[in-house]
Amino acid sequence: MSGRRIAGPEIEKLIQLLARVPGLGPRSARRAALQMIKKKDQLMGPLAEALALVHERVVVCSTCGNADTSDPCAICSDPRRQTGTIIVVEEVADLWALERAAAMPNVLYHVLGGVLSPLDGIGPDDLSIAALVDRVEAGGVSEIILAVNATVEGQTTAHYITDRLSGFEVTVTRLAHGVPVGGELDYLDDGTLAAALKSRTKF
């Protein structure tokens, strides 16, 4: 089943690479490549430049684990974010999602780089947990908000971190589990409904 080649190797390679971008399949990749070819100067040129620049400059923040073009990152070096609150997340994507929501605009973050998963051989030393303890130990932190996923691994990780921080004068909190905004009870799964009931608040 060798499909007929419809473009030169350079364009085929571009399509193959684009198809590896999350959210793009082969079909969308072809469409994106075509659009870029059509808008060579307005889109492809600037995109190639932006890619090259980010590729050259992107670094992992040595304080929080965020991805940025400076270390410390823009968030860690923002003087307005001195509230003593650190939100702990699994991945950089979670940090960016929380920043987009902007519910707590002046907090700092800590990216774990995953969750504890004995079955996959991921232990505490594989995650950025010691660095989090170091940040708390350095002082000035009053609250740690554990914003890990509501999965078994996420909750195991939250318990582990809570244990590791038990000797420090810091409040450890976690996200509420429950009814999503705009959610209808009838459509919720049993686990979500049970968690929402358990973590009910006073009206």
Positions that interact with Zn ion (CB under 5 A): 61, 63-64, 66, 72-73, 76
Q: Considering the complex, what minimum distance in angstroms separates the CB of residue 184 from Zn ion? A: 38
- For the chain, what is the radius of gyration of the CA atoms? 22
Neighbours of 85 (CB within 10 A): 18
List CB contacts of 174: < 8 A, sequence separation 6 or more: 145, 146, 147, 148, 158
Burial class (CB in 10 A: 0-12, 13-18, 19+), 19: middle
d(CA 186, CA 191): 13
**Could you tell me the CA-to-CA distances from 72 to 10, 13, 53, 178 in Å, in that order?**
38, 35, 18, 35
Identity of the residue, 77 or 199, whose beta carbon is nearer to Zn ion in the bound complex: 77
Q: For residues 66 and 85, which CB has a smaller minimum distance to Zn ion in the complex?
A: 66
In the complex, the smallest distance separating the C-beta of residue 136 from Zn ion, rounded to whole angstroms, is 16
Q: How far is the CB of 107 from Zn ion (least distance, A)?
A: 12
Give CA separation, 71 vs 57, 77, 88, 195, in Å. 10, 9, 19, 39
Nearer to Zn ion, 76 or 98 (CB): 76
Task: Tell me the closest approach of the beta carbon of residue 195 to Zn ion, in angstroms.
Answer: 31
Nearer to Zn ion, 64 or 116 (CB): 64
In whole angstroms, how close is the CB of 118 to Zn ion at the nearest point?
Answer: 29
Nearer to Zn ion, 102 or 185 (CB): 102
